[in-house]
Chains A and B, each alone.
Chain A
Amino acid sequence: MGPGIPSTAIFTLNKEDHTLGNLLRSQLLKNPRVLFAGYKVPHPLVPKVELRVQTDGEIAPKEAVTTACNELVKDLGILSREFTKEYELRKMVGATQQQQPNGNPDGQ
Protein backbone atom coordinates (compact mmCIF):
# COMPACT_ATOMS: atom_id res chain seq x y z
CA MET A 1 0.00 0.00 0.00
CA GLY A 2 2.93 2.25 -0.42
CA PRO A 3 4.47 4.55 2.12
CA GLY A 4 3.14 2.97 5.32
CA ILE A 5 0.61 5.71 5.90
CA PRO A 6 -2.99 4.60 6.21
CA SER A 7 -5.34 5.16 3.28
CA THR A 8 -2.48 6.12 1.05
CA ALA A 9 -1.35 4.48 -2.13
CA ILE A 10 1.06 5.16 -4.91
CA PHE A 11 -0.15 4.09 -8.32
CA THR A 12 2.42 3.56 -11.01
CA LEU A 13 1.14 4.18 -14.49
CA ASN A 14 3.54 2.72 -16.99
CA LYS A 15 3.77 4.20 -20.46
CA GLU A 16 1.91 7.30 -19.40
CA ASP A 17 2.95 10.90 -18.90
CA HIS A 18 1.66 14.29 -17.72
CA THR A 19 -1.38 13.89 -19.97
CA LEU A 20 -2.89 11.38 -17.60
CA GLY A 21 -0.96 12.27 -14.45
CA ASN A 22 -2.10 15.85 -14.27
CA LEU A 23 -5.62 15.03 -15.43
CA LEU A 24 -6.11 12.45 -12.68
CA ARG A 25 -4.44 14.60 -10.06
CA SER A 26 -6.76 17.51 -10.60
CA GLN A 27 -9.83 15.32 -10.84
CA LEU A 28 -8.92 13.55 -7.58
CA LEU A 29 -8.52 16.88 -5.81
CA LYS A 30 -12.15 17.72 -6.57
CA ASN A 31 -13.19 14.80 -4.40
CA PRO A 32 -13.62 16.02 -0.80
CA ARG A 33 -12.68 12.54 0.48
CA VAL A 34 -9.26 12.85 -1.09
CA LEU A 35 -6.82 14.52 1.29
CA PHE A 36 -3.85 14.41 -1.02
CA ALA A 37 -3.30 13.76 -4.68
CA GLY A 38 -0.07 14.41 -6.49
CA TYR A 39 1.87 12.94 -9.33
CA LYS A 40 5.40 12.87 -10.59
CA VAL A 41 7.27 11.66 -13.60
CA PRO A 42 10.42 10.45 -11.85
CA HIS A 43 12.62 10.65 -14.93
CA PRO A 44 11.81 12.41 -18.19
CA LEU A 45 13.28 9.60 -20.26
CA VAL A 46 11.36 6.88 -18.47
CA PRO A 47 7.68 6.79 -19.45
CA LYS A 48 6.24 6.29 -16.02
CA VAL A 49 3.95 8.30 -13.80
CA GLU A 50 3.60 7.91 -10.06
CA LEU A 51 0.31 9.03 -8.64
CA ARG A 52 0.06 9.32 -4.88
CA VAL A 53 -3.37 9.40 -3.37
CA GLN A 54 -4.36 9.75 0.26
CA THR A 55 -7.98 9.55 1.31
CA ASP A 56 -9.79 10.26 4.57
CA GLY A 57 -10.33 6.55 5.18
CA GLU A 58 -13.96 6.46 4.15
CA ILE A 59 -12.97 5.25 0.72
CA ALA A 60 -9.92 3.39 -0.53
CA PRO A 61 -7.47 5.31 -2.72
CA LYS A 62 -8.21 2.81 -5.45
CA GLU A 63 -11.88 3.67 -5.30
CA ALA A 64 -11.05 7.36 -5.52
CA VAL A 65 -8.97 6.79 -8.64
CA THR A 66 -11.64 4.63 -10.25
CA THR A 67 -14.28 7.25 -9.48
CA ALA A 68 -12.07 9.99 -10.90
CA CYS A 69 -11.53 7.97 -14.08
CA ASN A 70 -15.22 7.30 -14.45
CA GLU A 71 -16.08 10.95 -14.05
CA LEU A 72 -13.48 11.96 -16.62
CA VAL A 73 -14.74 9.39 -19.08
CA LYS A 74 -18.23 10.74 -18.54
CA ASP A 75 -17.09 14.34 -19.03
CA LEU A 76 -15.23 13.40 -22.19
CA GLY A 77 -18.40 11.74 -23.43
CA ILE A 78 -20.33 14.95 -22.82
CA LEU A 79 -17.58 16.91 -24.55
CA SER A 80 -17.73 14.60 -27.55
CA ARG A 81 -21.48 15.06 -27.91
CA GLU A 82 -21.29 18.81 -27.36
CA PHE A 83 -18.55 19.12 -29.93
CA THR A 84 -20.44 17.13 -32.56
CA LYS A 85 -23.55 19.24 -31.97
CA GLU A 86 -21.72 22.55 -32.15
CA TYR A 87 -19.58 21.54 -35.10
CA GLU A 88 -22.58 20.48 -37.19
CA LEU A 89 -24.35 23.69 -36.24
CA ARG A 90 -21.35 25.77 -37.27
CA LYS A 91 -21.05 23.92 -40.58
CA MET A 92 -24.75 24.60 -41.31
CA VAL A 93 -24.28 28.30 -40.57
CA GLY A 94 -21.19 28.33 -42.80
CA ALA A 95 -23.09 26.65 -45.64
CA THR A 96 -25.99 29.13 -45.58
CA GLN A 97 -23.54 32.02 -45.53
CA GLN A 98 -21.86 30.71 -48.62
CA GLN A 99 -25.16 30.36 -50.46
CA GLN A 100 -26.04 34.02 -50.15
CA PRO A 101 -23.30 36.34 -51.42
CA ASN A 102 -22.18 39.08 -49.04
CA GLY A 103 -23.80 37.06 -46.28
CA ASN A 104 -20.58 36.79 -44.32
CA PRO A 105 -19.99 40.06 -42.50
CA ASP A 106 -16.52 39.15 -41.28
CA GLY A 107 -15.59 37.43 -44.49
CA GLN A 108 -11.90 36.91 -45.01
Chain B
Amino acid sequence: MDYEMDIEPTGPQVTVREAEPYRVDFKLSSVDLSFANSLRRTILSEIPTMAIDLVEVEKNTSVLPDEFLAHRLGLIPLNSRNCDQDVEYTRDCDCEDHCARCSVTLTLYARCTVEDVMHVHARDLIVSGERANEWVGNPVVTDAQGLGPLICKLRRGQELKMTCIAKKGIAKEHAKWAPTAAIGFEYDPHNNLKHVDYWYEEDPAKEWPPSHNAGWEAPAPPDQPFDYDAEPNNFYLDVESIGNLEPDMIVQQGISVLQRKLASIISSLSGTEGADRNGIVDDDMMGVRSPDAYEPPEGIDGGFTSYAGGGASAWGASAATPYGATPYGAGGFGF
Protein backbone atom coordinates (compact mmCIF):
# COMPACT_ATOMS: atom_id res chain seq x y z
CA MET B 1 0.00 0.00 0.00
CA ASP B 2 1.14 3.50 -0.70
CA TYR B 3 -0.12 4.75 2.63
CA GLU B 4 1.86 6.67 5.15
CA MET B 5 2.57 3.78 7.44
CA ASP B 6 3.44 5.78 10.48
CA ILE B 7 1.66 3.81 13.15
CA GLU B 8 1.01 0.41 11.66
CA PRO B 9 4.17 -0.97 10.18
CA THR B 10 3.40 -4.57 11.08
CA GLY B 11 -0.24 -4.64 12.08
CA PRO B 12 -1.79 -5.10 15.50
CA GLN B 13 0.38 -6.32 18.36
CA VAL B 14 -0.86 -8.19 21.41
CA THR B 15 0.66 -8.82 24.82
CA VAL B 16 -1.38 -11.11 27.02
CA ARG B 17 -0.74 -9.97 30.58
CA GLU B 18 -3.00 -12.32 32.49
CA ALA B 19 -4.87 -15.42 31.42
CA GLU B 20 -7.21 -17.01 33.91
CA PRO B 21 -10.04 -19.49 33.38
CA TYR B 22 -12.60 -16.70 33.22
CA ARG B 23 -10.48 -13.72 32.36
CA VAL B 24 -7.97 -12.50 29.87
CA ASP B 25 -6.14 -9.23 30.26
CA PHE B 26 -4.14 -8.01 27.32
CA LYS B 27 -2.51 -5.01 25.79
CA LEU B 28 -3.37 -4.16 22.23
CA SER B 29 -0.90 -1.94 20.40
CA SER B 30 -0.21 -0.49 16.97
CA VAL B 31 -3.89 0.01 16.31
CA ASP B 32 -5.98 3.14 16.42
CA LEU B 33 -8.69 4.03 18.88
CA SER B 34 -11.55 3.22 16.54
CA PHE B 35 -10.16 -0.26 15.90
CA ALA B 36 -9.77 -1.07 19.59
CA ASN B 37 -13.17 0.40 20.37
CA SER B 38 -14.88 -1.53 17.59
CA LEU B 39 -13.38 -4.71 18.95
CA ARG B 40 -14.63 -3.81 22.41
CA ARG B 41 -18.10 -3.02 21.13
CA THR B 42 -18.41 -6.24 19.12
CA ILE B 43 -17.25 -8.34 22.06
CA LEU B 44 -19.70 -6.58 24.31
CA SER B 45 -22.78 -6.87 22.18
CA GLU B 46 -22.48 -8.99 19.07
CA ILE B 47 -21.06 -12.37 19.97
CA PRO B 48 -23.63 -15.13 19.65
CA THR B 49 -24.33 -17.18 22.76
CA MET B 50 -27.12 -19.39 24.03
CA ALA B 51 -29.79 -18.34 26.51
CA ILE B 52 -33.25 -19.48 27.45
CA ASP B 53 -35.69 -17.53 25.33
CA LEU B 54 -38.97 -19.34 25.66
CA VAL B 55 -40.44 -20.98 28.75
CA GLU B 56 -43.48 -23.20 28.79
CA VAL B 57 -44.82 -23.35 32.29
CA GLU B 58 -46.70 -26.52 33.01
CA LYS B 59 -46.93 -26.07 36.72
CA ASN B 60 -45.81 -23.30 39.00
CA THR B 61 -47.09 -23.30 42.54
CA SER B 62 -44.09 -21.40 43.90
CA VAL B 63 -44.35 -17.89 45.29
CA LEU B 64 -42.79 -16.40 42.18
CA PRO B 65 -45.03 -15.61 39.22
CA ASP B 66 -44.39 -17.34 35.88
CA GLU B 67 -42.94 -14.31 34.14
CA PHE B 68 -40.62 -13.65 37.05
CA LEU B 69 -39.24 -17.17 36.75
CA ALA B 70 -39.06 -16.93 32.98
CA HIS B 71 -36.95 -13.81 33.31
CA ARG B 72 -34.65 -15.47 35.85
CA LEU B 73 -34.29 -18.52 33.62
CA GLY B 74 -33.35 -16.33 30.68
CA LEU B 75 -30.49 -14.79 32.63
CA ILE B 76 -28.86 -18.13 33.50
CA PRO B 77 -25.60 -18.48 31.59
CA LEU B 78 -25.57 -21.51 29.34
CA ASN B 79 -22.52 -23.08 27.81
CA SER B 80 -22.20 -21.74 24.27
CA ARG B 81 -19.05 -23.38 23.03
CA ASN B 82 -18.91 -23.47 19.22
CA CYS B 83 -22.46 -22.19 19.06
CA ASP B 84 -21.48 -19.71 16.35
CA GLN B 85 -20.84 -22.60 13.98
CA ASP B 86 -22.93 -25.45 15.29
CA VAL B 87 -26.16 -23.69 16.16
CA GLU B 88 -28.44 -21.89 13.71
CA TYR B 89 -30.40 -18.77 14.56
CA THR B 90 -34.00 -19.92 14.98
CA ARG B 91 -35.13 -17.26 12.53
CA ASP B 92 -32.75 -18.59 9.86
CA CYS B 93 -33.50 -22.25 10.48
CA ASP B 94 -35.54 -24.27 8.02
CA CYS B 95 -37.65 -25.80 10.74
CA GLU B 96 -41.23 -24.88 11.53
CA ASP B 97 -40.79 -23.46 15.01
CA HIS B 98 -37.54 -24.60 16.55
CA CYS B 99 -35.49 -27.76 16.33
CA ALA B 100 -32.32 -29.43 17.57
CA ARG B 101 -30.20 -27.45 15.13
CA CYS B 102 -31.40 -24.06 16.36
CA SER B 103 -32.33 -24.63 19.98
CA VAL B 104 -31.68 -26.61 23.12
CA THR B 105 -34.52 -27.83 25.28
CA LEU B 106 -34.05 -27.83 29.04
CA THR B 107 -36.57 -29.19 31.46
CA LEU B 108 -36.98 -28.17 35.05
CA TYR B 109 -38.96 -30.30 37.43
CA ALA B 110 -38.75 -29.69 41.15
CA ARG B 111 -41.15 -30.50 43.94
CA CYS B 112 -40.61 -29.86 47.59
CA THR B 113 -41.65 -32.73 49.80
CA VAL B 114 -39.72 -31.82 52.92
CA GLU B 115 -40.47 -29.43 55.73
CA ASP B 116 -37.59 -27.01 55.09
CA VAL B 117 -37.14 -24.65 52.22
CA MET B 118 -35.90 -26.31 49.07
CA HIS B 119 -33.57 -24.50 46.71
CA VAL B 120 -33.88 -24.93 42.97
CA HIS B 121 -30.62 -24.23 41.19
CA ALA B 122 -29.46 -24.03 37.59
CA ARG B 123 -27.99 -27.52 37.84
CA ASP B 124 -31.56 -28.83 38.08
CA LEU B 125 -32.10 -27.78 34.47
CA ILE B 126 -31.80 -30.98 32.46
CA VAL B 127 -31.03 -30.90 28.76
CA SER B 128 -33.50 -33.11 26.96
CA GLY B 129 -33.45 -34.34 23.40
CA GLU B 130 -30.99 -33.70 20.63
CA ARG B 131 -28.70 -30.69 20.49
CA ALA B 132 -26.16 -29.24 18.14
CA ASN B 133 -23.08 -30.32 20.07
CA GLU B 134 -22.23 -31.92 23.39
CA TRP B 135 -21.68 -28.67 25.35
CA VAL B 136 -24.22 -26.25 24.11
CA GLY B 137 -27.01 -25.46 26.56
CA ASN B 138 -25.42 -26.86 29.71
CA PRO B 139 -25.94 -24.43 32.59
CA VAL B 140 -22.69 -22.79 33.63
CA VAL B 141 -21.79 -23.90 37.13
CA THR B 142 -18.80 -22.24 38.73
CA ASP B 143 -19.42 -22.46 42.47
CA ALA B 144 -17.61 -24.98 44.66
CA GLN B 145 -20.75 -26.93 45.53
CA GLY B 146 -21.66 -27.26 41.86
CA LEU B 147 -25.12 -25.80 42.19
CA GLY B 148 -25.16 -22.92 39.78
CA PRO B 149 -27.33 -19.82 40.20
CA LEU B 150 -30.39 -20.07 42.43
CA ILE B 151 -33.62 -19.99 40.46
CA CYS B 152 -36.32 -20.28 43.10
CA LYS B 153 -37.07 -21.50 46.62
CA LEU B 154 -39.91 -23.89 47.35
CA ARG B 155 -41.87 -24.69 50.51
CA ARG B 156 -43.49 -28.03 51.18
CA GLY B 157 -45.90 -29.03 48.45
CA GLN B 158 -44.83 -26.36 46.02
CA GLU B 159 -43.88 -27.52 42.57
CA LEU B 160 -42.19 -26.26 39.45
CA LYS B 161 -42.49 -27.96 36.10
CA MET B 162 -41.40 -26.16 33.01
CA THR B 163 -39.79 -26.61 29.62
CA CYS B 164 -37.30 -24.03 28.50
CA ILE B 165 -36.18 -23.44 24.93
CA ALA B 166 -32.71 -21.94 24.71
CA LYS B 167 -31.85 -20.15 21.49
CA LYS B 168 -28.87 -18.45 19.96
CA GLY B 169 -28.81 -14.69 20.10
CA ILE B 170 -26.68 -11.61 20.60
CA ALA B 171 -26.52 -9.14 23.48
CA LYS B 172 -27.68 -6.32 21.23
CA GLU B 173 -31.11 -7.89 21.31
CA HIS B 174 -31.10 -8.81 24.99
CA ALA B 175 -28.32 -8.60 27.58
CA LYS B 176 -28.93 -12.20 28.58
CA TRP B 177 -26.94 -13.19 25.50
CA ALA B 178 -23.87 -11.25 26.64
CA PRO B 179 -20.69 -13.33 26.69
CA THR B 180 -18.88 -10.99 29.08
CA ALA B 181 -19.59 -9.69 32.54
CA ALA B 182 -17.44 -6.68 31.81
CA ILE B 183 -14.69 -5.48 29.56
CA GLY B 184 -12.04 -3.24 31.00
CA PHE B 185 -10.84 -0.74 28.43
CA GLU B 186 -8.24 1.89 29.07
CA TYR B 187 -5.71 3.86 27.11
CA ASP B 188 -3.28 6.63 27.94
CA PRO B 189 -3.28 5.98 31.71
CA HIS B 190 -1.27 9.14 32.39
CA ASN B 191 -3.69 11.27 30.40
CA ASN B 192 -0.83 12.59 28.26
CA LEU B 193 -3.26 13.17 25.41
CA LYS B 194 -5.64 15.15 27.63
CA HIS B 195 -8.66 13.18 26.43
CA VAL B 196 -9.89 13.32 30.00
CA ASP B 197 -10.48 16.47 32.00
CA TYR B 198 -10.32 15.27 35.59
CA TRP B 199 -12.57 16.83 38.16
CA TYR B 200 -10.65 17.70 41.29
CA GLU B 201 -10.82 19.55 44.59
CA GLU B 202 -7.25 20.74 44.85
CA ASP B 203 -4.76 18.49 43.10
CA PRO B 204 -5.84 16.00 40.41
CA ALA B 205 -2.58 14.05 40.77
CA LYS B 206 -3.37 13.30 44.41
CA GLU B 207 -7.08 12.74 44.01
CA TRP B 208 -6.83 10.45 40.99
CA PRO B 209 -4.52 7.58 41.88
CA PRO B 210 -2.70 6.04 38.89
CA SER B 211 -4.40 3.02 37.35
CA HIS B 212 -2.72 -0.36 37.35
CA ASN B 213 -1.91 0.20 33.68
CA ALA B 214 0.14 3.28 34.54
CA GLY B 215 3.29 1.20 34.99
CA TRP B 216 3.13 0.16 31.34
CA GLU B 217 3.64 3.65 29.99
CA ALA B 218 5.76 6.65 30.82
CA PRO B 219 4.13 9.93 31.76
CA ALA B 220 4.96 12.85 29.50
CA PRO B 221 7.73 14.99 30.96
CA PRO B 222 6.12 18.11 32.43
CA ASP B 223 8.36 20.52 30.51
CA GLN B 224 7.57 18.94 27.15
CA PRO B 225 5.19 20.95 24.96
CA PHE B 226 1.85 19.31 24.26
CA ASP B 227 1.83 17.18 21.13
CA TYR B 228 -1.37 18.01 19.27
CA ASP B 229 -0.88 15.24 16.73
CA ALA B 230 -0.36 12.45 19.24
CA GLU B 231 -2.77 9.56 18.95
CA PRO B 232 -3.36 6.74 21.37
CA ASN B 233 -2.04 3.41 20.24
CA ASN B 234 -1.79 1.24 23.33
CA PHE B 235 -5.02 -0.16 24.70
CA TYR B 236 -5.50 -2.25 27.81
CA LEU B 237 -8.39 -4.67 27.60
CA ASP B 238 -9.60 -6.91 30.37
CA VAL B 239 -12.21 -9.36 29.13
CA GLU B 240 -14.16 -11.09 31.87
CA SER B 241 -16.19 -14.08 30.75
CA ILE B 242 -19.45 -15.16 32.35
CA GLY B 243 -18.49 -18.76 31.74
CA ASN B 244 -20.53 -19.52 28.64
CA LEU B 245 -17.47 -19.04 26.42
CA GLU B 246 -13.76 -19.30 27.15
CA PRO B 247 -12.16 -15.86 27.39
CA ASP B 248 -9.87 -16.42 24.41
CA MET B 249 -12.82 -17.62 22.35
CA ILE B 250 -14.67 -14.44 23.20
CA VAL B 251 -11.86 -12.34 21.77
CA GLN B 252 -11.48 -14.59 18.73
CA GLN B 253 -15.18 -14.48 18.05
CA GLY B 254 -15.27 -10.73 18.44
CA ILE B 255 -12.63 -10.55 15.75
CA SER B 256 -14.45 -12.89 13.43
CA VAL B 257 -17.81 -11.17 13.90
CA LEU B 258 -16.15 -7.90 12.94
CA GLN B 259 -14.50 -9.55 9.95
CA ARG B 260 -17.82 -10.95 8.78
CA LYS B 261 -19.43 -7.53 9.02
CA LEU B 262 -16.68 -6.02 6.87
CA ALA B 263 -16.86 -8.93 4.45
CA SER B 264 -20.57 -8.36 3.96
CA ILE B 265 -19.87 -4.76 3.04
CA ILE B 266 -17.22 -5.83 0.55
CA SER B 267 -19.57 -8.35 -1.00
CA SER B 268 -22.50 -5.97 -1.25
CA LEU B 269 -20.28 -3.31 -2.81
CA SER B 270 -18.68 -5.66 -5.29
CA GLY B 271 -21.76 -7.76 -5.99
CA THR B 272 -24.51 -6.18 -8.04
CA GLU B 273 -22.70 -3.46 -9.92
CA GLY B 274 -25.70 -1.57 -11.33
CA ALA B 275 -28.19 -2.27 -8.61
CA ASP B 276 -26.53 -0.39 -5.81
CA ARG B 277 -25.75 2.84 -7.51
CA ASN B 278 -26.99 4.53 -4.39
CA GLY B 279 -24.33 2.76 -2.45
CA ILE B 280 -26.83 0.93 -0.30
CA VAL B 281 -25.32 -1.80 1.76
CA ASP B 282 -27.84 -4.16 3.17
CA ASP B 283 -27.12 -7.74 4.07
CA ASP B 284 -30.36 -9.38 3.34
CA MET B 285 -32.32 -6.56 1.80
CA MET B 286 -35.08 -6.79 4.35
CA GLY B 287 -36.60 -3.65 5.59
CA VAL B 288 -37.78 -0.67 3.65
CA ARG B 289 -35.42 2.21 3.35
CA SER B 290 -36.76 5.56 4.19
CA PRO B 291 -35.90 8.28 1.71
CA ASP B 292 -35.39 10.80 4.47
CA ALA B 293 -32.52 10.32 6.83
CA TYR B 294 -34.43 11.40 9.91
CA GLU B 295 -37.72 9.74 9.29
CA PRO B 296 -38.25 6.50 11.14
CA PRO B 297 -39.02 3.82 8.57
CA GLU B 298 -42.71 3.10 7.97
CA GLY B 299 -44.14 4.12 11.26
CA ILE B 300 -41.99 2.23 13.63
CA ASP B 301 -42.46 -1.40 12.90
CA GLY B 302 -41.87 -1.56 9.18
CA GLY B 303 -38.18 -1.20 9.17
CA PHE B 304 -35.02 -2.91 9.91
CA THR B 305 -33.15 -3.47 13.07
CA SER B 306 -29.76 -4.70 13.98
CA TYR B 307 -31.20 -8.02 14.90
CA ALA B 308 -31.93 -9.43 11.47
CA GLY B 309 -35.32 -10.75 11.01
CA GLY B 310 -38.31 -12.15 9.34
CA GLY B 311 -40.26 -15.16 10.31
CA ALA B 312 -43.21 -15.71 12.52
CA SER B 313 -43.10 -14.94 16.19
CA ALA B 314 -42.84 -17.70 18.68
CA TRP B 315 -46.49 -17.26 19.54
CA GLY B 316 -47.46 -18.29 16.05
CA ALA B 317 -49.89 -15.70 14.83
CA SER B 318 -48.76 -12.16 14.69
CA ALA B 319 -45.88 -12.28 12.26
CA ALA B 320 -42.60 -10.53 12.05
CA THR B 321 -41.69 -7.94 14.57
CA PRO B 322 -38.93 -5.58 13.60
CA TYR B 323 -36.71 -7.62 15.88
CA GLY B 324 -37.10 -10.74 13.86
CA ALA B 325 -38.75 -13.69 15.44
CA THR B 326 -38.79 -12.43 18.98
CA PRO B 327 -41.49 -13.75 21.19
CA TYR B 328 -42.15 -10.31 22.60
CA GLY B 329 -45.10 -9.48 20.43
CA ALA B 330 -45.36 -7.19 17.49
CA GLY B 331 -44.75 -3.53 17.07
CA GLY B 332 -43.01 -0.98 19.18
CA PHE B 333 -39.50 -1.11 20.38
CA GLY B 334 -40.00 -4.23 22.31
CA PHE B 335 -37.48 -3.75 25.05
What residues of B have a CB within 8 angstroms of the CB of A17 in the complex?
Answer: 41, 306
Q: Is the CB of A32 within 8 A of B4?
A: yes
Binary A-proximity of B18-56 (CB < 8 A = 1, otherwise 0): 110000101010011111011101100010000000000
Shortest B292–chain A CB gap in Å is 9
Shortest A73–chain B CB gap in Å is 5
Number of CB contacts from chain A to chain B under 8 A:
161
Q: Is the CB of A76 within 8 A of B258?
A: yes
Q: Which residue of B lies closest to A2 (CB)?
A: B279
What residues of A have a CB within 8 angstroms of the CB of B211 in the complex?
Answer: none
Q: Is the CB of B306 within 8 A of A76?
A: no
Contact count band on B:
35 or more
What residues of A have a CB within 8 angstroms of the CB of B206 in the complex?
Answer: none
Q: Is the CB of B34 within 8 A of A94?
A: no
A44 to B192 Cα, complex, angstroms: 32
Does B182 sit within 8 A of A, measured CB to CB?
no
Q: Is the CB of B279 within 8 A of A86?
A: no
Q: Which residue of B lies closest to A14 (CB)?
A: B282
Q: Which residue of A lies closest to B280 (CB)?
A: A12
Q: Which of A8-56 contact B (CB under 8 A)?
A: 9-20, 22-27, 30-32, 42-43, 45-48, 50
A82 to B248 Cα, complex, angstroms: 12
A13 to B17 Cα, complex, angstroms: 36
What residues of B have a CB within 8 angstroms of the CB of A70 in the complex?
Answer: 266
What residues of A have a CB within 8 angstroms of the CB of B35 in the complex?
Answer: 23, 26-27, 72, 75
What residues of B have a CB within 8 angstroms of the CB of A50 in the complex?
Answer: 293
What residues of A have a CB within 8 angstroms of the CB of B4 in the complex?
Answer: 30, 32
Does B191 sit within 8 A of A, measured CB to CB?
no
What residues of B have a CB within 8 angstroms of the CB of A32 in the complex?
Answer: 2-4
Q: Which residue of B lies closest to A15 (CB)?
A: B306
Interface centre among B12, B41, B256, B307 (most CB of A within 10 A): B12
Does B230 sit within 8 A of A, measured CB to CB?
no
Q: Is the CB of A45 within 8 A of B31?
A: no
Interface centre among A46, A62, A76 (most CB of B within 10 A): A76
Does B329 sit within 8 A of A, measured CB to CB?
no
Does B152 sit within 8 A of A, measured CB to CB?
no
A46 to B37 Cα, complex, angstroms: 21
What residues of B have a CB within 8 angstroms of the CB of A5 in the complex?
Answer: none
A13 to B264 Cα, complex, angstroms: 10
Q: Is the CB of B34 within 8 A of A25?
A: yes
Q: Is the CB of B297 within 8 A of A46?
A: yes
Does B194 sit within 8 A of A, measured CB to CB?
no
What residues of A have a CB within 8 angstroms of the CB of B297 in the complex?
Answer: 46
Q: Is the CB of B34 within 8 A of A22?
A: yes
Q: Is the CB of A87 within 8 A of B16?
A: yes
Q: Is the CB of A42 within 8 A of B293?
A: yes
26 of the cross-chain contacts (CB-CB < 8 Å) are A11-B279, A14-B282, A14-B283, A15-B304, A16-B261, A16-B306, A17-B306, A19-B46, A26-B35, A27-B34, A32-B2, A43-B296, A45-B296, A47-B305, A47-B306, A69-B262, A69-B266, A75-B8, A75-B12, A76-B255, A76-B258, A78-B12, A79-B255, A87-B19, A87-B26, A89-B16
Residues of chain B at the chain A interface (Cβ within 8 Å): 1-4, 8, 10-19, 24, 26, 28, 31-35, 37-39, 41-42, 46, 248, 251-252, 255-256, 258-259, 261-263, 265-266, 269-270, 277-283, 287, 289, 293-294, 296-297, 303-308, 333
Residues of chain A at the chain B interface (Cβ within 8 Å): 1-2, 9-20, 22-27, 30-32, 42-43, 45-48, 50, 61-62, 65-66, 69-80, 82-87, 89-91, 94
4 closest A-B pairs by beta carbon, nearest first, are A78-B11, A26-B34, A90-B16, A79-B12
